Amino acid sequence: MADHIGCIPELDQKKYDAREQVKIICLGDSAVGKSKLMERFLMDEFRPQQLSTYALTLYKHTANVGNKTVAVDFWDTAGQERFQSMHPSYYHKAHACIMVFDVQRKITYKNLANWYKELREYRPEIPCCVVANKIDADLKVTQRSFSFAKKQGLPFYFVSAADGTNVVKMFREMINRAVDYKQNPSDFMDEVLEELENFDLEKKEENSEAEEDELKAESPELA
Ligand SMILES: Nc1nc2c(ncn2[C@@H]2O[C@H](COP(=O)(O)OP(=O)(O)OP(=O)(O)O)[C@@H](O)[C@H]2O)c(=O)[nH]1
Ligand SMILES: [Mg+2]
């Protein structure tokens, strides 16, 4: 997958360097409801791009954050999680992560520890949350405590992709956190990248201003 990743426009990771683009990934065991959650959130604009050869689905979304419009790419796996591990390119340049388990299957909760460990190997500082899905199947689970999130200091949500409980709230908060992280990265490498990007953007702005000035000098009617 990584060998070809730069060749596919949808998977061009360089675009996440642009200020207004964020990448949010979703982790968790098979059948916990990752895809259904995204579909529920994006119901009105449902337009997934299936890249089956690459075991990926990209869900594209446009969000308003503060006074900015942000393009959000949600990355969803199609089956790779069955191998209990994701390809490194899945994590590359991600700005936030949504970790999902199924309240009806204890093993999916236990496996969060493995997913979290792998996530932190690649993305030590990005915002992450824990999502307990399928609460519609048994509302009593919301009385139970799931300590993993608390122990790791992560936000926790009880949700249902089936009836929509908390889905929009969780996604909105994660988009905000992803944008916030991108603007103020706490990972050293990300900080360096952000600095370089700003430097690049400033240079481009300077160049286009200079070009404009030149143009005005050549054609005074534009001034
Ligand atoms: N009752 C209930 N069922 C759900 C909910 N969310 C998902 N499901 C069901 O759980 C099954 C798996 O959902 P998916 O969204 O395909 O799960 P996934 O995590 O994307 O699974 P993979 O793509 O195999 O990794 C489907 O049969 C869904 O209908 C929910 O909130 N409540
Ligand atoms: Mg899926």
Q: Report pLDDT for 200.
A: 66
CA dist., res. 58 & res. 108, Å (int) = 23
What value does the CA radius of gyration of the chain take, rounded to a whole number of Å? 20
What CATH number does residue 178 fall under? Answer: 3.40.50.300
Query: Tokens 């905000």, residue?
Result: 176
The CB density around residue 80, as the number of other CB atoms within 10 Å, is 16
- Give the Å distance between the CA of 134 and the centre of ligand 2: 14
CA dist., res. 200 & res. 209, Å (int): 14
Look up tokens 């929009």; give the residue. 168
What's the 31 CA to ligand 1 centre distance in angstroms?
5
pLDDT score recorded for residue 194: 73
The CB-side HSE value for 147 (13 A sphere, CA atoms) comes to 1
The DSSP element (H or E) to which 121 belongs, if any, is: helix 112-122
Q: Please tell me if the CB atom of residue 131 comes closer than 6 angstroms to any atom of ligand 1.
A: no
197-219: pLDDT as tens digits? 777 666 666 676 666 666 666 66
Residues of the chain below pLDDT 50: 1-3, 46, 223
pLDDT at 129: 98
Q: Quote the tokens at residue 26.
A: 């979703």
Under 8 Å between Cβ of 87 and 81: no
Does the ipTM surpass 0.85? Answer: yes
Give the Å distance between the CA of 176 and the centre of ligand 1.
Answer: 25
Structural domain boundaries enclosing 129: 2-222
Q: How many domains is the chain built from? A: 1
- Rounded Cα distance between 184 and 190, Å, is 9
- Assess whether the C-beta atom of 40 lies below 6 angstroms from ligand 1: no
Q: Which of 36, 74, 167 to mutate to test the pocket of ligand 1 (most atoms within 8 A of CB)?
A: 36
Q: What is the pTM of this model?
A: 0.82
